[in-house]
Each structure stands twice: as C-alpha cells, then as structure tokens.
Amino acid sequence: MIDYEKPKRFSSLFKVLNRDLRLIFASNLVGAFGDGLYAYLLPKYMTDALGASSVDVGMLYALTSLTAALTLIVAGALADKYDRKKIMIAGWVAWLPAPLIFAFARDWIQMVPGMILWGFWLGGPTSTAYIVKAADENKLTLTFTVLSSAWSLGYIFSPAIGGYMAGKIGMQTVFLTSFILYALAAFTLVFISSQHAKPIKHRSLNDYTSPLQLLKTRKLVAVSAFFAATMFVMMMFRPFVPKFLADIYHYGDAEIGILGSISFAGSAVLGIALGRFGDKYGKKFALAILMTLCGSSLALMLLTGNFYLLALAFFFMGASYAIWSLMSAVIGPMAPEPMRAMWVSIPQTTSMFASILASYLGGVLYGVSPSILFTATILMTAALTLTSLFQKF
C-alpha cells in the first residue's frame, strides 16, 4: 500500500521556506555535494598520498579553523554594512581555489593555501542574519535545521561517490568536480533578493548596544562559552573518524565513503527532527539529545568494527552536524537587527577559536592512542549534555 502522507509530510517541511530561502537551500545542496566529494576523505588523503602525520593533519585543520575565526568578525561587519546577498556569494567564491590547490598539491605543506581558503567563512554570520530576517520567527529552529539538512542531503551520496571516484579515477578528478559544484552554488545565490541591515536611526545605547558592550553581558558570555565548548568537542574528534576506520578496522575509501554518507543521512533526518523538537519543547533539550546521540555513537564505534553496527552508529553520529544550525537558532534572535550579523559573529568566532586548539589536541591524542581520543570525547559529550539542560535559551 502506498503511503501518500509521506510526500505530503516531506513537502510540508519546505513550506517554512520562502523563495529566497529555497534558493539558499538549493545552493547549500549543490555546494555540499561538491564539498562532500572530498571533505570526508581529506584526512586520509593527507596521510596516504601526501605523507602527513596525525599531528600534521590536526595542524592543517587547526589552520582552517583559525582562518574561519578571523574571517567571521569581518564577515559580520561587512554583512551589517553591505548587501548580505553579495557577502554570501563572496563566501563561495573564496572557496573556489581550494579544491584546485588540493588537486595539484604534492605534499601536505602545499595544502596550506587551500586549507586557509577553505577556512574563509564569510557566509557564517551573514547567512544567519539573512535567515533570521527572512524566516517565520515561530518556526525559526525548524527553518535553520531544514536549511542545514540541505548540506546533509548533499553529503549523503557524495562521500560514497567521492570514495568510488578516488579509487577508480583518482582524487584529482574529485577535486576538480568539487570546483565546478562550488561555482554552481555561488551562481544560484545570484537570484536571491538583496537584503540590507535595518539602519540605526537612534544612537541611544538603550535602543542598540554595541558589540563590545554586548560581549560584557552575562547571557552572551554564557552562550559563547557553551558553544565554544561544544565546537571544541566536535572538532576534536571529527577529522579523525575516517582515519580511525582505516587504521583500526582497515576499511578502504569506498567503505569509509559509504559510512560517511550514512552519517549525513542521519544528519538530515535527525537535524529536522531536532529542529521540530526544539521549536516545541525548547532548544536546550534538543541540544541535550544531540550530545547524547553523539557520545553514544562514538561508544558504539569503539566497541565494534562490524559494518552494520557501524552504520547504525554513524547514522546517530550525524546528529553532531546539526550543532551549527541549532547554535544559529539560539543566537540569531538575540541580537538587534541593525547589528545582527556582527553580534552573531561573536559566539561563532569564539567557537572557531576553540576548534583551533581542538583539532591540534585531537591529533596529539590520536597519535598517543585513538581510543584515548574517542573516550575523552565521550566523557565530554556527557558533561555537555548535563550542561545544556541548565542553559536559559
């Protein structure tokens, strides 16, 4: 019997998106597919093809996080002053040379310029500010997670396809294909409406607070610290999951790519579910569930190398990719519209700075023992689960 309600339920998710948000969804989908072709395999490629050690891999990802941290504040300032549409397009354009550099690198040091460009995150605070203004405020969490699901959907098949392509025709072709898809993602955003921040008519601090003064508020400090800790945990383990599968369970590119696809399928399904849950019951409870799923999936990965059980673990691990959309749903509405992008960039920047140390520390811990890295991550997710329940979102 055909279930006609499923297509209706699926299409109803997109009712929260207007024309501009649907174009952003399409851009995210295309760009994510291009990114997913190589991103999941990149740590393994650095090691196997370019001779990078686990510490070298951690340093490269730390460099990407450092660049993101430095560009977020700049992006926020630009997005509150100029057309947010143009800043979002510029974010994709900055990424264009990265896969080309990766394609022609002959050692891991030559990856450095590409990793720097890959870290340019002009779209971070810009897209958050754009979405908050364009979306239905009563369905904001769901809107962010639906848009984030575009990334997840793009990643569902691309890691497996990227792994297959790498095995058959080489990573260079994979990188070049990603370049083309990045360009298409940028082109799609040409058709969205322009959006400017609402100009400040009154300079009174009672109407609008400066970013520096907002940084001194207890609420912003608490939110920034919480999400910095969260991103620290996520980035400490994430680059080393594919390497763990290869080193410990001896899986090849194709199997690793399939597990990556399963993880992003989980991200799409669980992310939307968490968005609905957060709008109905509270964002802090959605975050607690996310942390629980993340820690449980890593524990299962440590316990078994059985492919089918790993597939289940990776499906639940996909929830970890919803953290950025949940963070955007929490911090986006807090800021006044005239300085929303700049203000949003503050907790995003602190999160990225936390990621810098996390990637390096993850590499060091993995070099000592992979089990130590993932056990530490499991304990940290448990602590964050409890901490999230005491947040006032």
Cα 71–Cα 180–Cα 23 angle in degrees, nearest 5? 70
What pLDDT does residue 207 have? Answer: 47
Q: How many residues does the chain have?
A: 393
Looking up tokens 């800043």, which residue turns up? Answer: 87
Task: Identify whether the C-beta of residue 117 lies closer than 8 Å to the C-beta of residue 97.
Answer: yes
CA distance 293 to 172: 35
HSE of 157, CA atoms in CB hemisphere, 13 A: 2
What pLDDT does residue 216 have? Answer: 57
Per-residue pLDDT of the chain (393 residues; tens, 9 = 90+): 444 444 454 455 667 788 899 999 999 999 999 998 998 788 888 988 888 887 888 788 878 878 887 888 888 888 888 899 999 999 999 999 999 999 999 999 999 999 999 988 888 788 888 888 887 777 777 888 788 888 878 878 787 788 888 888 889 999 999 999 999 999 999 999 998 877 655 444 444 455 555 555 677 777 888 888 888 988 888 878 888 998 889 888 778 878 877 888 888 888 888 887 877 788 888 888 999 999 999 999 999 999 999 999 999 998 888 887 777 777 777 766 666 777 777 788 888 788 778 877 888 898 888 889 999 999 999 998 888 887 776
CA distance 292 to 282: 16
Backbone φ and ψ for 162, nearest 5 degrees, come out as -60, -40
Domains annotated on the chain, with CATH: 18-191+210-388 (1.20.1250.20)
Helix (H, G, I), strand (E, B) or coil at 193: coil
